[in-house]
């Protein structure tokens, strides 16, 4: 009902404005009709019609104030658009953008450019600011008019390595102004490099056992054909190598599945103690063979986290297996569960502490990378694939959790999974 009333009022106001704007033609028409009605003379009627035509042709179309206001408004809008087209539009661009003139001097830089490259004062030479030969050639080519646009890749090494795709183009409708837009390609390049490294590492890890198997097959078909002892020995090595390849392929498939769904919706609440006890029971034979005693420091109270049971089992299994294998010289592994509160956030911490040789500090930030090994020979001797901690990190990320590592050479290492308390 209200919308109908508003619509009727709008139409009425529009009608009144049109009526007011046509007041002179209406008045002249009324006078002409009255004159014709009062006198039968055709001459008078013709004069009346001529008067109507003159009034319609020369009468003002609106008040002067209204016309002048419209012109002023148009002028203000034009100036506002000019300002928007310059600094405000540049500020709205999320990528670094700089405007320079035909002499290569900077005219304007948006906030993103100053955040990326530091203070950029008007008037400085771009060729002095960006000293890379490809950047200087691009600026000179665009400013001289030899090209209206251009694209180059620009890299900075300090303070951190960054790579930009720089697009140059002329702007300003004949004002001889030009713009450089910097598109950060660092993350794309990093991902491409990681993909290439991953393929190279995976190929290397698979090639080694394949080469070993191929060599033993050739030996068994040749010199060791009639040597039962050598045959049994070589077949055992081949079985170990095929098992290693199977573990590697399983880990690669696990990583692939995790990366396809990097985030996990909150699952059912799970008792961490039960999962941890299942892991300890499954790895008890390995601990016994390695001469390692597993100690539990766990309270009797139920401690729950939200997540997927199979994935949490895999996390705890990898961490405990690593502690047993690489902390074997310490003879003991301590497993503990604690509830903590930091900065108003409650967490459940599951820690695996070994007393082995420890991890040098420079290696700690990289041990969760794929195929990264602190000691290659020790890792391969322990039948490691170099992917266990990468899988742990991905699963914890899916559970909105994190992994922290504390270690000191000669005193062992502690790996802690931090889960948000439900």
Average pLDDT over residues 224-232: 82
Average pLDDT over residues 160-179: 82
**What is residue 26's DSSP assignment?**
H
pLDDT digits (tens, 9 = 90+) for 192-213: 777 777 777 777 777 877 888 8
pLDDT for the residue 71: 46
Greater pLDDT, 103 or 267? 103
| Residues carrying CATH 3.30.565.10, the chain | 262-420
Q: Write down the CATH superfamily of domain 93-184.
A: PAS domain (3.30.450.20)
pLDDT for the residue 151: 92
**What is residue 146's DSSP assignment?**
S
| Residues carrying CATH 3.30.450.20, the chain | 93-184
Residue 105, SS3 per DSSP: strand
Count of beta carbons in the 10 Å neighbourhood of residue 386: 20
Could you tell me the maximum CA-CA distance found in the chain, to the nearest angstrom?
141
pLDDT at 147 over 90: no
The CA angle 253-245-314, to the nearest 5 degrees, is 45
Is residue 131 within 8 A of residue 206, CB to CB? The reply is no
pLDDT at 346 over 80: yes
* Domain 262-420: top CATH class: alpha beta
pLDDT for the residue 186: 85
Question: What is the fold of 188-259?
Answer: Helix Hairpins (1.10.287)
272 vs 338: CA distance, rounded Å: 11
Count of beta carbons in the 10 Å neighbourhood of residue 351: 19
Average pLDDT over residues 125-146: 88
pTM recorded for the entire structure:
0.54
Greater pLDDT, 314 or 248? 314
Measuring CA to CA, which residue among 176, 147, 418 is closest to residue 307?
418
Please provide the average confidence, as pLDDT, over all residues in the chain: 78
| Residues carrying CATH 1.10.287.130, the chain | 188-259
List, in sequence order, the alpha helices (H) in 22-61.
23-38, 42-58
């Amino acid at each position: 009902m209200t919308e109908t009333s508003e619509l009727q009022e709008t139409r009425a106001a529009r009608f009144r404005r049109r009526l007011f704007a046509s007041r002179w033609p209406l008045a002249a028409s009324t006078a002409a009709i009255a004159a014709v009605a009062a006198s039968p003379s055709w001459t008078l009627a013709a004069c009346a019609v001529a008067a109507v035509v003159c009034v319609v042709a020369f009468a003002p179309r609106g008040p002067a104030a209204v016309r002048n206001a419209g012109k002023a408004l148009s002028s203000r809008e034009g100036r506002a658009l000019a300002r928007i087209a310059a600094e405000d539009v540049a500020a709205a661009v999320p990528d670094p953008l700089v405007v320079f003139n035909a002499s290569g001097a900077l005219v304007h830089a948006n906030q993103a450019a100053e955040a990326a490259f530091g203070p950029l004062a008007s008037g400085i030479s771009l060729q002095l600011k960006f000293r890379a030969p490809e950047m200087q050639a691009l600026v000179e080519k665009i400013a001289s008019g030899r090209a209206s646009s251009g694209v180059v890749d620009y890299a900075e090494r300090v303070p951190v390595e960054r790579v930009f795709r720089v697009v140059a183009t002329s702007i300003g409708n004949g004002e001889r102004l030009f713009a450089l837009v910097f598109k950060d390609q660092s993350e794309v390049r990093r991902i491409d490099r990681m993909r290439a490294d991953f393929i190279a590492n995976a190929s290397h890890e698979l090639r080694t056992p394949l080469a070993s198997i191929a060599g033993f097959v050739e030996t068994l078909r040749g010199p060791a054909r009639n040597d039962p002892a050598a045959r049994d020995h070589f077949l055992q090595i081949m079985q170990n190598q095929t098992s290693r390849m199977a573990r590697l392929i399983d880990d690669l498939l696990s990583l692939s599945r995790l990366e396809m769904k990097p985030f996990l919706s909150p699952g059912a609440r799970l008792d961490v103690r039960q999962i941890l006890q299942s892991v300890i029971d499954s790895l008890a034979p390995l601990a016994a063979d390695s001469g390692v005693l597993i100690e539990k420091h766990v309270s009797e109270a139920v401690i729950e986290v939200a997540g997927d049971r199979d994935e949490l089992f895999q996390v705890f299994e990898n961490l405990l297996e690593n502690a047993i294998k690489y902390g074997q010289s310490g003879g003991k592994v301590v497993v503990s569960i604690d509830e903590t509160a930091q900065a108003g956030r409650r967490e459940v911490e599951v820690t695996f502490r070994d007393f082995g040789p420890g991890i040098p500090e420079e290696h700690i930030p990289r041990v969760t990378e794929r195929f990264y090994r602190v000691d290659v020979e020790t890792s391969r001797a322990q039948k490691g694939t170099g992917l266990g901690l990468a899988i742990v990190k991905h699963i914890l990320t899916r559970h909105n959790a994190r992994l922290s590592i504390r270690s000191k050479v000669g005193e062992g290492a502690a790996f802690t999974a931090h889960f948000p308390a439900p």
